Every structure is written in structure tokens, then in C-alpha cells.
């Protein structure tokens, strides 16, 4: 998405003619937006950078301590743990979530009865608040009386303590997040699929390509812009996962489901270490930036291949 924006940056130029200067009008129309943008986006970003160089408990005045918070980031074993958990969470949710939603989209992208119903059913979790969702899922995950273990007992799997075992807590949260975002991603895939012109498939059929071959050689490449868009959006939101963690496991047991943002929250609002929390925020920002850039690179590479 960013790329296409960059490409368009120079477009609104009047071809060959002298540009009219609209500065007064632009100022008028931009003013409310820019004031808000600077007050509530740009200024806070800089303020957080400042706080990340301080020791600050939210109550007294911040005390400048230089790079100590950033040094601490590298020393603190909990950063390593939570960063690792964040990565694992992303590695589970993004590929599985994308595959699941693509599957649903492909089956829905045809003339089929009850399309509206299916579409609505898949989308329902996306519009529900995580607070509501977490309450139901906590009960579903209940090892003794919950639905999950009951259903699994039919295939002979028994006694999984979903949220309260360190080996499954993160996976449990991942499942909820996959479930919650699948419908939304499915819808994006559906839009992408509908954008692929039928002529490609007709050509493919003439060549005698099988459905699978068509999928690999036509659908996937043609869908790649959508895929990249969903990929980057999913990665970014996985890195920022917080609500489900605080609502369902509080990061436990141990630190097994604690993620970066959860640790940030704890430092800011429980441990009185706002400065350190701001440094964690910048760590997160840096990672998201890195992922976005890598993704753009990859997208360009793939485009060259096809």
C-alpha cells in the first residue's frame, strides 16, 4: 500500500502547464487535520523519544539518564523472552491465519448459495470486541467443562490445560486471534480474487492446466499485491497484540504468554518505569519499521520474478 502511494506522489501535476499555487486554500483545508496530527501524533512520537532517555514514574518529574534504558533493553532477560514470544506468536498467527482465510475466500469466490450467510458468519468475530470474545474463549478453554477439550476428546486427545500451561498458553491466544481476524482477511482476499480477470483462467483452461496448476500459476501471482497487504497488516497487528493477553492470561503462566506490549504496559502502569516503557515502545517501532522495509524489498523482488 505504501509503495503504491509513493508511486502516486508525483501524479497530481497539471500536465505541462504552470502550477497554480493553492497554498491559502490548502492551508484552510489542511489546518484542522494538521493541528490534530502534530498535537496527537508527531508531538507524542517525539515526547516518547524524550521520555525514553529518562527515568520517570508518572508522578514526579522525569530525570534524564541518557541511554540507560536502551542499555537495559539488551540486558533485561524479560525483553528477550517477550520479544521471542511476540515473534513466535507472529509466526503462528500470520501464516496459519492467512492460509485459513485464503481457503475460505477461494471457496466463497464462486456462484454459490447462502453466500451472504457465510460471509456474515465469517466476519462476525471481527466486529466483536476482544473483551467479549475473551470471556467466551476462556470458558471454551476450560480444561474440565470447556467445549474445546470436549470436542478433542472425540479424537482421543484429553486434558489439555490450554491457558494455564506454559507450553500452550501462547498457542491458545494465537488461536483466538486467528479466529478473530480470519473473516476480515478473508474479505480482503475475496476482493483480490474478484479483481483477477477471467480471461487468464480461460487461457489456462485452453492450455489444459489443472485447477491446482491454475491456482499456483494464475491465482497466487495475481493475488500477490493483496497477499502482501494482508501480510504486512497482520504482522504489524501481531507485533502489537495486547488485549487478548491482558484479558486472558495476563502474560502467564510464568512469562510464557507475555509479549512486548504487555511488558511495556506493566512497566508504564505497574512498575512505575515509564521511561523504560517508552524505550520498549521505540524497540517495537524499530521492529515494525524493519519488517515493513523488508516486506517492501521482498515485494519488489517477487515482482521482478513474475
Residues 218-247 that bind another protein (CB under 8 A): 225-226, 229-230, 236, 239-240, 242-243, 246-247
186-225 footprint of another protein as x/- string (CB under 8 A) = -xx-xxx-xx-----------------------------x
Residues 56-95, interacting with another protein (CB under 8 A): 57-60
Cα-flanking dihedrals φ and ψ of residue 165, to 5°? -125, 140
Size of the site for another protein (CB under 8 A): 136
The residue among 114 and 306 lying less far from another protein, judged by its C-beta, is: 114
Which of 88, 96, 160, 179 is in the footprint of another protein by CB under 8 A? 179
238 Cβ contact list (under 8 Å, min separation 6): 86, 89, 90, 93, 94, 177
CB-based contact 172:142 (threshold 8 Å)? no
252-281 footprint of another protein as x/- string (CB under 8 A) = xxxxx----x--xxx-xxxxx-x--xx--x
Smallest gap, in angstroms, from Cβ of residue 276 to another protein?
Answer: 11
198 Cβ contact list (under 8 Å, min separation 6): none
Pull the grid cell for residue 22. 493553492
Smallest gap, in angstroms, from Cβ of residue 64 to another protein?
Answer: 16
Which of 71, 99, 132, 294 is in the footprint of another protein by CB under 8 A? 132
The residue among 200 and 292 lying less far from another protein, judged by its C-beta, is: 292
Smallest gap, in angstroms, from Cβ of residue 210 to another protein?
Answer: 13
Our measurement of the distance from residue 109's CA atom to the centroid of its chain's CA atoms, rounded to an integer in Å, reads: 24
Smallest gap, in angstroms, from Cβ of residue 261 to another protein?
Answer: 6
Give the helix ranges, DSSP H, for 60-156: 68-75, 77-108, 115-127, 130-140, 147-153
Q: Is 140 in the site for another protein (CB under 8 A)?
A: yes
Q: Are strands 54-55 and 63-64 parallel, antiparallel or unpaired?
A: antiparallel
The residue among 211 and 216 lying less far from another protein, judged by its C-beta, is: 211
Pull the grid cell for residue 266. 506493566
Nearest to 289 by CA among 243, 241, 235, 228: 235
Amino acid at each position: 500500500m505504501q509503495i503504491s502511494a509513493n508511486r502516486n506522489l508525483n501524479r497530481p501535476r497539471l500536465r505541462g502547464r504552470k502550477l497554480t499555487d493553492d497554498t491559502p486554500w490548502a492551508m484552510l483545508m489542511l489546518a484542522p487535520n494538521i493541528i490534530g496530527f502534530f498535537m496527537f501524533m508527531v508531538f507524542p512520537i517525539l515526547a516518547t523519544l524524550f521520555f525514553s532517555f529518562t527515568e520517570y514514574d508518572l508522578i514526579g518529574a522525569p530525570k534524564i539518564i541518557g541511554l540507560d534504558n536502551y542499555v537495559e533493553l539488551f540486558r533485561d532477560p524479560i525483553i528477550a523472552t517477550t520479544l521471542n514470544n511476540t515473534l513466535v506468536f507472529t509466526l503462528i498467527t500470520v501464516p496459519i491465519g492467512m492460509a485459513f482465510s485464503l481457503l475460505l475466500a477461494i471457496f466463497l469466490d464462486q456462484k454459490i448459495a447462502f453466500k451472504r450467510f457465510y460471509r456474515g458468519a465469517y466476519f462476525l468475530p471481527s466486529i466483536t470486541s476482544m473483551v467479549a470474545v475473551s470471556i467466551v474463549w476462556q470458558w471454551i478453554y476450560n480444561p474440565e467443562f470447556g467445549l474445546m477439550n470436549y470436542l478433542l476428546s472425540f479424537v482421543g486427545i484429553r486434558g489439555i490445560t490450554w491457558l494455564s500451561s506454559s507450553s500452550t498458553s501462547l498457542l491458545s491466544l494465537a488461536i483466538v486471534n486467528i479466529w478473530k481476524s480470519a473473516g476480515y482477511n478473508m474479505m480482503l482476499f475475496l476482493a483480490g480474487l474478484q479483481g483477477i480477470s477471467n480471461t487468464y483462467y480461460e487461457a489456462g483452461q485452453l492450455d489444459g492446466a489443472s485447477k491446482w496448476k491454475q491456482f499456483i500459476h494464475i491465482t497466487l501471482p495475481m493475488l500477490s499485491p493483496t497477499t502482501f497487504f494482508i501480510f504486512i497488516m497482520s504482522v504489524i497487528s501481531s507485533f502489537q497484540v495486547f488485549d487478548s493477553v491482558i484479558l486472558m492470561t495476563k502474560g502467564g503462566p510464568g512469562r510464557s504468554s507475555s509479549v512486548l506490549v504487555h511488558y511495556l504496559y506493566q512497566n508504564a502502569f505497574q512498575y512505575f518505569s515509564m521511561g523504560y516503557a517508552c524505550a520498549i515502545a521505540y524497540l517495537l517501532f524499530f521492529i515494525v519499521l524493519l519488517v515493513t522495509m523488508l516486506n517492501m524489498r521482498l515485494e519488489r523482488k517477487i515482482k521482478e520474478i513474475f
